Amino acid sequence: MAVDDFGTGYSSLSCLRRFPVDALKIDESFVGQINAPGDDRCIVTAVISMARSLKLRVVAEGVETLEQLSFLRTHGCDEAQGYFISRPVAPEQFATLLRTGIPVPSVGVQG
């Protein structure tokens, strides 16, 4: 079980006590601002550190640049999802992606 959009809305620290959580998904609103001035970089590293302490996996949502991915890798984020990794693909294209590791064009696919 993963806590989606951690740090926003109803995904609060209390979820970590109430549910058998395996992973935290860092909301894209924080990931998108990793390279900008402000506190988002500190928030992301704090969430990763907290998840590590609780032995949880960490997934970053909304990764769109190599700089964001590099920052997340450097700080111990386990997984990333977003347009930098792949645009949404149709089910029949997914097998090709798994087999080759190369995203195929996703014209007409809604994400």
In a domain, 72, yes or no: yes
Neighbours of 51 (CB within 10 A): 23
The domain of 63 spans 2-80
Question: What does the pLDDT read at residue 7?
Answer: 60
Question: What does the pLDDT read at residue 19?
Answer: 75
Provide the whole-model pTM. Answer: 0.75
Dist. CA 50–CA 76, nearest whole Å = 11
In a domain, 93, yes or no: no
Count of domains for the chain: 1
8 Å CB contact between 18 and 39: no
Tell me the pLDDT of the chain (111 aa) as tens digits: 666 656 655 556 666 677 788 888 898 989 999 988 888 899 899 989 989 998 999 999 999 999 999 999 999 999 999 999 878 878 878 888 788 876 655 444 444
Dist. CA 32–CA 10, nearest whole Å = 20
Question: What does the pLDDT read at residue 94?
Answer: 81
- C-alpha dihedral (76, 79, 84, 87), degrees to nearest 10: -170
In a domain, 110, yes or no: no
Question: What does the pLDDT read at residue 110?
Answer: 40
In a domain, 86, yes or no: no
Alpha-carbon distances of 16 from 20, 51, 100, rounded to whole Å: 7, 10, 37
In a domain, 12, yes or no: yes
